[in-house]
Structure 1
Amino acid sequence: MYHAVSDISEDEAASTVDRQEQQTPDLPPTRDNHDQDVVFISEPREYHAVSDISEDEAAEAANRHEQETTDLRPTKGNHDQDVAFINKPREKGSFDAAKWIVLYAALASLPMLCFSAVLLGILIKNRIETVDSTSDDAVALGYHIVEFPAARLIFVSSWSSSVAPRLASIVMGLYLFRTAKALLKRSSTNEMARLPTPYQLVLLIGLSTGSLGHLWKYVKYGWTSKHRFASLIKSTGAVLIIFQLLGLAIFGLDSLLHFTTEAVLYMRNSTSDAVQQSFSRGLSSRCTSLDDFHEYPCTTIGVQTSCKPISQLCQLSAPIGAATPYNCSSGFYGDLQSITLNSTTTSWKANDEHLVFGADFLDDNFTQPYNNYSSQEDRSDISVSPGHNLPSSWYMAVAFRLDFGVKSSNIPNDPEITIPVHGGAAFIWRCQVATYDVKYTSFNGSLSHVSTTLANGSVAWLYNSVIPAPGTPSIMITQGTDIAIMGNSSAEIASNWGTQFSRVAVSILAPVYEGRPNLAESTIRSAILTRVPRAPLLGIVVLNIVFATFGLLLGCMALASNSESVAAVAGGLSIDGLVASIFEDDGGMVEGAEIEKCFSENVQGGAVRVGLHEERPGQWDLVKKTQETIESLYTHTHTT
């Protein structure tokens, strides 16, 4: 196989190709004429023809082409027929890499900064600062509560993890300027040890595109190759690894945010400027007018009654028949067989189905009467009461005689319950009753923030003035007794009866209370909020900012390294640059020209094609071909 160097000029060859394209039909290579294909190996102004003809024959063919094409020099009239690979000298400075550096830096940083700003904006604008404790544990440590749909929030957060990996190629394009500057410097000083090998150049170009495949090859090469990496390749690989790790970290935090973000139900209270409802309770003005010196506005009233059995202390017994004598004190004694009360204090009775009667005292020994009149006195004159100087709590002696046995089989054996000879049950309680002013908050249909203070004696006085009067609903006390005796012991029955009596007392007092304005009002509105874990959310924001900061930093480094020569080399360190270096006359690294303009077809159009040539069986090369040269050599070979 022989290589002949054509002596024809570049312009003559171009004219010849153009003429042959117009006059000669396509003649695709066949098995018979394959060896006559012309292969142009890109060297400055040299074209090598590969065929089976001798060097003399090739030289003769070149001379003949030179004579035939002297009239086909490009002129203004035949400019449209000019061959594409005739390149005009390019003007330096026609390509400004700085604007592309600024654009790439903006693309590498602004999206991540915008995503962080959107996330922070959603958090700040929709965050709920205070949440009532009744709304579950929505304000658990490490969470933010935002009034924003959870699905939309995690969709916004996923932008960062989706975009970050795609920005690697842009970021590496910025770092390529620094790499190009380093390569220029080391090439000019001929530092062989610091220059990349051919395969390392492949890795360098692949890493500069952000390729994960080349990143894996880079790692594998570092483990297996005997050649050490050039430092500029190490730094390029390190930058790509850093940005890939940042992308993975953002993806991991975004996944964690997806798993831990949840919707919660929140009941919001908004305080009204004006109170419109009257759900509080207070003393009626007709009652408070009885005292010209005191007025007790309150939200509502409360009564607390605590009882314990004292049958043994009162010497309750059942000697014969239905007789059940007792002697608690000089102020409360007698026989439960009869209704007669030997007491000089306020007393009352309920004798529907059960005999339940009691008396009120100021002390727990039943010696100081609450009021200085007996049950036989006329109660129509309320002025006999001592007034509002009575305390807010008092003691009651309560005696029971039931005509039937109680439910529990344990009660007959209780020492505090006496069983009369004729059957039934008898027992005596000592109860302490206290009245309170109660403030409470109604939230979501339940009471909360209940606070109590002892009320003035007027509440107790009103109760003790009403319950002994004729017509008092004693049936309420009887029903309370029916409920209380369901207990399993005397102590449990006493406790249950005290609770029932408190309800009866409040019910009796309710009619003398009137509506009062609420202390404050709020409107309850339910909403579905989003509970966002603080750590992954803020982590995404921070990593976005770090990612953007690195992008801006690399942009500044690229601007600092930028020059016409650096821009040309940076453009050439790519697949485009390598192809241009092989198949274009001016190569792929031309100062002042974009890499796209290094291809003649992008400037003037062209007839150059890239094909395969079999150097030897099983070995192929990429070669530059034109139809004109193929036809010329094919014709010459067959005519000779």
Structure 2
Amino acid sequence: MSTAKLTVTKREYHNIESHNDAADRSNDQFSLHTPQDKMNAKGKQQDIAWNTALLTVPMLILTTIFFAFVFGYRVEREDEPFPNLRGNKSTLADDHAYYVDLNSTFLMFLASWMSSLAPMLSGFAITLAAYPIAARLSEDSMEDNRDRLLTPFQLNLALKLVNGSTWSGIWSWILYRLGWGKRVKGQGAALQSFLKVTLLVVFLSTLVFGADTWLHIVTKTVGLVQLSVVHSDSALYSLSLLGPNCTTTNNTISQLAEDGLICNMDPGTARLVQGTAAFQTLNSQSNAISVFNNGPNATVVYLGLSASEREDNHDFTATTLGMHTTCRPISQACGLGNSTEYSFTYNCSDGAFAGNLSIATTHNAIPQAYFIDMDSSEYSQGGVRNPYDYAVASSYQIPANPITNIANDPEILILAGELLSVILKCKVTLYDIEYDLVEGNITRLVTTPSNDSVVNVFVPGLEQTTFGWSSISSALQIASVIAEDAQDLADQFAIAYSKVALSVGAGSMVRTPALAAQERNTILVAKVPKAPLFLLVVINLIFVVMGFVLAVLAARTSQEAHEVQSRFGIAGIVANMFEGEKAARPADAVERLYGEYWEGNQTSRVGIHRTSTGGFVFKALDKEMSGISYHGGYQ
């Protein structure tokens, strides 16, 4: 098909206009040019490229920017430096989410642009789809496929969809299909095609909005713990015996005197070397060392650093010394009985631990003894083995009306309704302890029996001084008031004894590096679940792919399709109604179909007039004649 020049110049326009003035203005049929005179509108490639760019580039840019922020500021999951120090907040708890070092509000602001932009781009998609639809409509028109052509009302529906009235057009079509009933004989192919494209765009836009809404709901700002290794010089969390004085001998009194060493107690003066530290530790007044029994096994008591000496955000694996004591009442086995109105006699292990209990005795000194093995009556003789035996007898006044369970227990003797006596035998084991402290809690505590030399750091100070007597006496007296029976009393006393026994050696402990230490730093990050994130991105990309597919289909149409597509809109229909044969001429833009484009204010004017039948019709007042010319409608 040969074509003439595609651009209509102003001179050519006036020549054609003069020719048209001589034509019959009342003829409503447009004359068709011969193929040689036929000119197609220019700018098809530019129009397709422009609409494709507007449909795809903004969505691609926003998706790329959003992804760049998510993955550019993503907090990577790192291996924990020490698996045994894993806490509730030490790891990224959710493998189905990304953690982004950005404010979640900022991320959601970016995501909301995508859901806002998708509906705005629907017009560009329909413009591209109009090319193949217009090409097919032109073919159907030339082949006179009447069943595939549009009725006037269907043309109205199609124009609504083409010109951006998406929801209004869909609603009008629904009313048309459901309200017109049998009067609807069939839908033109063009209307069906425009409707399908519109519904596809609406569906994708709705999915974008839904994915964005889901992402908004589940994305939250959370605290994320980051871990880093703490160097040993900044993590002195272990406690070890003072060397070399406490680590070179068996620490018995005789051996220390022979070697001229002083560990916990001065052999010459029989006094504690660091008595102040021991008393402060026992009474929870020390700023350095404290006694704890808060591990997984609450019956194991251990020495640890006071809270003020630990960094709150440090987790560590440390070593220390601990003790486990088990006691049982042996009042009957020792033959405890009253000798006078206010005294009791006892004899344990064939005289190994024997005497007379009274209030005066309890006030002056607590009867106690240390044995290597009490069953064989083997005394410590200046040193014990680990574990060792310990015996204690107590007699003290109790409040009136004593607890019934205690009063009725055969291992408890109450004289004159106010004097309570009991004898306990305890097995004491000292441990080398390794423990994990994570987020302020003991999560692991491993005990290994210490050697005999370590035990002898603690026992001489207890055996040869009055250290802790008041605490032991108070523990027995308190236990007798709240205990359910004699064994319960013994169990409560066992914890109290371990605390006393460990406190006596606090002055011989020094701080050493932890076996492992890490620092926890909490940062606020956006937790972005993967499912809605990728759903949003995938839908955006489908939107973009749809744009390229429509662009390819549009590009494959003939040049003539652009001519039809450019007229398939309100601008083309209005030109067709009021510009006469001028609208039938080829032009490189739909605006050039209008006389106003060439003549400005000298063009005809449009009005609406009542017809003889009582209706209304649009009419055009001709620019040169005083009469009224019109196209279509009624006289």
Please tell me the TM-score bracket, short chain as reference.
0.7 to 0.9
Distance in 2, Cα, partners of 1:542 & 1:135: 32
- The match for 1:280 among 216, 225, 238 is 238
Over alpha carbons, which structure has the higher Rg? 1
Contact persistence 2:604–2:622 (CA under 8 A): yes
- The match for 1:222 among 177, 184, 200 is 177
Per the TM alignment, residue 406 of structure 1 is displaced from its structure 2 partner at its CA by 8.4
- The match for 2:341 among 318, 321, 329 is 321
Task: Determine helix, strand or coil for the equivalent of 1:154.
Answer: helix
- The match for 1:369 among 378, 381, 402 is 378
Per the TM alignment, residue 553 of structure 1 is displaced from its structure 2 partner at its CA by 2.0
Correspondence for 2:223? 265
Q: What is the correspondence of 1:421-500 to structure 2 with a 5 Å cutoff?
A: 421=416, 423-444=418-439, 446-457=440-451, 458-470=453-465, 472-489=467-484, 490-500=486-496
Q: What is the correspondence of 1:44-63 to structure 2 with a 5 Å cutoff?
A: 45-48=23-26
Correspondence for 1:289? 248
Per the TM alignment, residue 281 of structure 1 is displaced from its structure 2 partner at its CA by 1.2
Per the TM alignment, residue 175 of structure 1 is displaced from its structure 2 partner at its CA by 1.1
Distance in 1, Cα, partners of 2:582 & 2:379: 118
Correspondence for 1:573? 568
Residue 425 of structure 2 aligns with an amino acid whose one-letter code is R
Distance in 2, Cα, partners of 1:592 & 1:14: 15
Give unpaired runs (5+ residues) of structure 1. Answer: 1-9, 17-41, 51-88, 340-349, 374-383, 634-640
**Does 2:150 align with 1:196?**
yes
Task: Determine helix, strand or coil for the equivalent of 2:395.
Answer: strand
Correspondence for 1:394? 388
Per the TM alignment, residue 427 of structure 1 is displaced from its structure 2 partner at its CA by 1.6
Distance in 1, Cα, partners of 2:628 & 2:154: 41
Distance in 2, Cα, partners of 1:468 & 1:105: 94
**Does 2:265 align with 1:245?**
no
Residue 301 of structure 1 aligns with an amino acid whose one-letter code is L
Give unpaired runs (5+ residues) of structure 2. Answer: 1-12, 29-35, 81-85, 252-316, 630-635
CA distance change for structure 1 residues 456 and 333 in 2, over 3 Å: closer, same or farther? closer
Per the TM alignment, residue 571 of structure 1 is displaced from its structure 2 partner at its CA by 1.1
Contact persistence 1:275–1:518 (CA under 8 A): no
Per the TM alignment, residue 152 of structure 1 is displaced from its structure 2 partner at its CA by 1.8
Per the TM alignment, residue 419 of structure 1 is displaced from its structure 2 partner at its CA by 0.8
Correspondence for 2:302? none
Distance in 2, Cα, partners of 1:508 & 1:522: 31
Per the TM alignment, residue 143 of structure 1 is displaced from its structure 2 partner at its CA by 4.3
Per the TM alignment, residue 454 of structure 1 is displaced from its structure 2 partner at its CA by 1.1
Aligned length: 530
Per the TM alignment, residue 455 of structure 1 is displaced from its structure 2 partner at its CA by 3.9
**Does 2:551 align with 1:555?**
yes
Per the TM alignment, residue 528 of structure 1 is displaced from its structure 2 partner at its CA by 2.7
CA distance change for structure 1 residues 430 and 172 in 2, over 3 Å: closer, same or farther? farther
Contact persistence 1:565–1:591 (CA under 8 A): no
TM norm structure 1? 0.73
Contact persistence 1:279–1:517 (CA under 8 A): yes
**Does 2:561 align with 1:583?**
no
CA distance change for structure 1 residues 333 and 421 in 2, over 3 Å: closer, same or farther? farther
Correspondence for 1:536? 532
Between the aligned residues of both structures, percent identity stands at: 25
Per the TM alignment, residue 459 of structure 1 is displaced from its structure 2 partner at its CA by 2.9
Per the TM alignment, residue 462 of structure 1 is displaced from its structure 2 partner at its CA by 1.8
CA distance change for structure 1 residues 496 and 624 in 2, over 3 Å: closer, same or farther? same
* 1:487-513 superposed Cα distances (whole Å, 9 cap, x missing partner): 232333322222222222332222111
CA distance change for structure 1 residues 422 and 607 in 2, over 3 Å: closer, same or farther? closer
Distance in 2, Cα, partners of 1:90 & 1:491: 118
Task: Determine helix, strand or coil for the equivalent of 1:419.
Answer: strand
Per the TM alignment, residue 578 of structure 1 is displaced from its structure 2 partner at its CA by 1.0
Correspondence for 2:284? none
Correspondence for 2:159? 205
Correspondence for 2:77? 129
Residue 570 of structure 1 aligns with an amino acid whose one-letter code is Q
Correspondence for 1:235? 193
TM norm structure 2? 0.73
Correspondence for 2:369? 359
Per the TM alignment, residue 586 of structure 1 is displaced from its structure 2 partner at its CA by 4.9
Distance in 1, Cα, partners of 2:489 & 2:105: 56
Contact persistence 1:569–1:589 (CA under 8 A): no
Query: What is the RMSD of the two structures over their aligned residues, measured on CA atoms?
Result: 3.8
CA distance change for structure 1 residues 428 and 268 in 2, over 3 Å: closer, same or farther? farther
Correspondence for 1:418? 413
